[in-house]
Structure 1
Amino acid sequence: MSTLFISDLHLSPATPTINHCFAQFMREEAVKADALYVLGDLFDFWIGDDDTSDFANFVRGEFKQLTDAGVPCFFTKGNRDFLVGKRFAKQTGITLLGDETVIDLYGRKAVVLHGDTLCTQDVSYLKFREKVNKKWLQWLFNRIPMFIKKKIVSKIQSDIRDDKKTKSLEIMDVTQSEVERVMEMHQVDLMIHGHTHRPDVHIFETNQSTNTRIVLGDWYTQGSVLVCDKKNIELQTRPFL
């Protein structure tokens, strides 16, 4: 048995190949796991828990089927699905996590997070993140008509694409000092996150210990899964069929 981690699938009605790979992963692999952790950006953009489209119901159904089978599923919100809320959790059986969560991974403590808060050089994004995570703004957004929501989301997505064009990869990557600060604060030597779309295993030394930071991959050209059991931790890929 193993514990599985995924992030940055960016599912949408326009990504049928990724959606199919996701469904296959949930039905054939995740269902056999000890637990599944989704570390943000499952969606290209989640418009709100009141979305009743076929696509939204498809994703809900996959999680409900998994949790009904007895597999615990934990969800950390990313920068594309910060509007996932209690209704989605109740409908699917998932457990929503905070921005940073310490878990017991077969006897080893690890901190799991989406990873966007580690990118401290990306000042404009962090300002955007602070704004959209304000509870009053989310409350207001969740109460406007769906057609207006879609227009707002379309504008946000366009702004995000334009913003990325002007930024260097270094600015959008994590800041090492922030990584070390978070790990030290939580007293762990293992961190798992997504967001940067740079799958890798980073080993680094601090005064206290040897540390490991694992970055999950995106699902743009193939599936990406971190598989952990009592003996091994391995980043793996899943081909699109």
Structure 2
Amino acid sequence: MAMPQSAAPLPHFGAFEAPAGWRAIDFISDLHLQPSHPRTFEAFAQHLRHTPADAVFILGDLFEVWVGDDARHEGFEHRVVEVLKDAAGRRSLAFMAGNRDFLVGAALLQECGVTALPDPTVLRAFGEQILLTHGDALCLEDVEYQRFRAVVRTEQARSDFLARPLAERRALAAHIRAASLQHQQRDGRPETWADLDAGATVQWMRAAGTPLLVHGHTHRPATQELAPGFTRHVLSDWELDDGGSPVRAGVLRFSAHGLQRMAPSCGPALDSTP
């Protein structure tokens, strides 16, 4: 049963005004980049290199886990940083934190040339207003997660964690991730996981003055009417490596023609997207 709307107080809505010259914005989320998923990483890198969009907005969970910006100097994290820096020289990039990478900080984004997006943010572009959010804050039915989220997002909890040595943070993150995987296996496929509370979501949209919502987190790509005049577009997760899961990766492109779902760009010779 969904919790009452009063359980999700209205947040502060950030704002982003797209430059008049932009022709298209790509929305992506839930790539969960990690060393054991090289195909997903390569698809991400290829899309950032070859998309014709003027901007790519990453709406959370770019990383499977992020333990602090000092991790950016080595290993797999450094490879991702190099891709972001290269792409930011070609087009605008913006990042909104997800539940897996909420510890991404100003140091990483500044080095990569990426704009920080508050969660939620009202985007104004192409004569429309769209509300952008990762989505986890509105999954009110998952009471256990909301309690956990409220604790780990405090400044004190962040400071305490980031004060630990990097190796210790990596080990702790691996332990937490293993426990999360066990929990997911018990709960079954994403179709059985908690979804956004429809009432609270529409309340956000009304307050923001946006008839459209774009979000990730739930791994259930779809377009749905939540109430008359209020529609949400759920982004696809990216999973190109795990043989036990559906292979998929999707981009939601926003332009003067509206919102269009498509496959990631993969280069001039192979790209089948418009």
1:107 paired with 2:107, answer no
Farther-moved stretch of structure 1 (158-167 vs 216-225): 158-167
Indicate the residue corresponding to 2:163 in structure 1.
143
2:230 corresponds in structure 1 to 211
| Aligned counterpart for 1:222 among listed residues 244, 248, 258 | 248
Give the match for residue 109 of structure 2: 89
Aligned to 2:202: 180
1:160 paired to 2:191: no
How far is the alpha carbon of 1:95 from its aligned partner?
A: 1.2
When the two structures are superposed, what TM-score results if normalisation uses the length of structure 1? 0.92
> Which residue in 2 is equivalent to 1:60?
81
1:79 aligns with 99
Contact 2:202 2:226 in 1 (8 A): no
Which runs of 5 or more structure 2 residues have no equivalent in the other structure? 1-22, 240-246
How far residue 222 of structure 1 moved from its aligned partner, in angstroms, is 2.6
Root mean square deviation of aligned Cα: 1.8
Q: CA deviation at 1:163?
A: 2.5
How much has 1:232 moved relative to structure 2? 2.6
Residue 203 of structure 1 and its aligned partner are, at CA, apart by 2.3
Instruction: Tell me the distance in 1 between the aligned counterparts of 2:25 and 2:118.
Output: 19
Instruction: Report if the CA contact (8 A) 2:46-2:265 is conserved.
Output: no
* DSSP 3-state at the match of 1:42: coil
What is the CA–CA distance in structure 2 between the aligned matches of 1:213 and 1:7, rounded to whole Å? Answer: 15
2:258 is aligned to: 232
Q: Is the 8 A contact 2:30 2:60 kept in 1?
A: yes
Q: Which runs of 4+ in 1 moved over 6 A?
A: none
- Secondary structure of the equivalent of 1:227? strand
> AA paired with 1:41?
D
CA distance in 2 between partners of 1:96 and 1:139 (Å): 20
Query: Which residue in 2 is equivalent to 1:117?
Result: 137
The AA in structure 1 aligned to 2:89 is: D
Shift of 1:195: 0.2
Give the deviation of 1:171 after TM superposition: 4.9
Q: Deviations over 1:183-206 (max 9, x none)?
A: 011111010000000001112434
Contact 2:121 2:133 in 1 (8 A): yes
| Residue identity matched to 2:60 | G
